[in-house]
Structure 1
Amino acid sequence: MHLELNPDKRYYSMGELAKAFDVNASLIRFWDKEFDILKPKKNAKGNRMFTPEDVKNLQLIYHLVKERGFTLEGAKTHLKVGQQKTLDSFDIISKLESIKAQLNQIKSEL
């Protein structure tokens, strides 16, 4: 899963995130209820609108649960105990993956 955050975009819809993460919207809705770090706004229709900060937190939750195999309780504990350290590490890994993708793109164009 890799979602490039648009610096000009303030909110992301549930559908956009479900597509980017390749999961059902119900899973994102479930994670929203389960994880306190997610705080999406609701528009006049009641639809969740996720901020870039929420998207980063969703990426972290996805990484812990789907990629590293944490249980929900394990992920919650991990986030509470080492949230800042985990976020910093995750940001570094995300940036390195982005650089790797760019380098592979350049390599394929050579």
Structure 2
Amino acid sequence: MEKTLPPIPAKRYFTIGEVGDLCGVKPHVLRYWEQEFTQLRPMKRRGNRRYYQHHEVLMIRRIRDLLYDQGFTISGARNKMQEILQTERDKKRHGEVMLDGVEVLELGDMELDDLEESAEDIPVVAEVYMEWQQVKKELLDIRELLMIEA
């Protein structure tokens, strides 16, 4: 019953409805998971509206995978999430980088053309490359605006 989830847009905050759509769960389920998984703490603003950040959307996708695809109970998924987060903390402490629960390829001195060629073969690199392209475009737009105003 694995469902393909849409890509997460490059935004800073997401509403509960957006997160529900991105993660394939209903908002009431997200509110329930907040009670069960202490790691999941969206920011609350006016009127107690929830705003989730990118890392929380990734965490919700992990929780969903554990519960719906791997068949964990809430208690089992809670323990597994604590284990996963501890492993990530340990890896960060030792200088390794994680992305969405998967080790990131060391890009090091890789040239942009090499990265672009690799992007076709490796989905993680493709996603990173697309995000990098978006950031680059935004920065060039900002630079152009600053040059016009100067």
TM-score, shorter chain, exceeding 0.5:
yes
What's the TM-score once normalised by structure 1's chain length? 0.72
**Structure 1 position 14 matched with structure 2 position 16:** yes
Structure 1 alignment gaps of length 5 or more = 103-110
Q: How far is the alpha carbon of 1:82 from its aligned partner?
A: 3.6
Give the gaps of 5 or more residues in structure 2.
90-97, 104-121, 127-150
Percent of matched pairs sharing the same residue:
24
Tell me how many residue pairs correspond in the alignment: 96
Write the distance in 1 (CA, Å) between the matches of 2:80 and 2:20. Answer: 24
Instruction: Describe the superposition over 1:43-84 as per-residue Cα deviations: whole angstroms up to 9, x where unpaired.
Output: 112111101111111011011011101000001111223435
Instruction: Pick from 46, 49, 66 the counterpart of residue 48 of structure 2.
Output: 46
Structure with greater helix percent? 1
Asked if 2 retains the 8 angstrom alpha-carbon contact of 1:79 and 1:86, the reply is: no
Q: Confirm or deny that 1:34 pairs with 2:36.
A: yes
- In 2, the alpha carbon distance for the partners of 1:54 and 1:27 equals 14
Give the superposition deviation at 1:12: 0.6
Higher relative contact order (CA 8 A, sep 6+): 1
